[in-house]
Amino acid sequence: MSKHEEFPELTPEAKRALRVAESYLDLSKLGWRRLYLAAFLREAVLQVFPGYRGLPSRSHSLLEMADNLHSPPPPPPTLAEAREADLDTPEGKGVVRGFLATLGKGLQP
């Protein structure tokens, strides 16, 4: 995939199901949550739709989502990128917003 695209937030029901699954598998300690979720999603699609096996991921949106989970999101914008951002465009505002969101992270006990 050439571009990383985040998918919508999980529903509260899906988050609860994930927490229950994690309590049994304890994926949080492994640090490989995205990899396991991607493998699970890919396998689920291929079991339901075996005809997709061997086809490119772009042939099914859930396989694309699994690829997206498998690759981590891009790093947050740097201070230099935020300073250079054009605040007259939505993209530039997004860069600044992304940088500001990183400030203070990791400082909580």
3-state secondary structure 19-56: HHHHHHHCHHHHCCHHHHHHHHHHHHHHHHCHHHCCCC
pLDDT tens digit string along 77-108? 999 999 999 999 999 999 999 999 888 765 55
Query: Is 0.75 surpassed by the pTM of this model?
Result: no
Distance CA 92, CA 17 (A): 37
pLDDT tens digit string along 35-70? 777 787 888 888 888 888 888 877 878 888 777 776
Provide the phi-psi class of 9: left if phi over 0, else alpha when psi is between -120 and 50, else beta.
Answer: beta
pLDDT classification of 1: cutoffs 50, 70, 90: very low
Structure tokens at 5: 């695209």
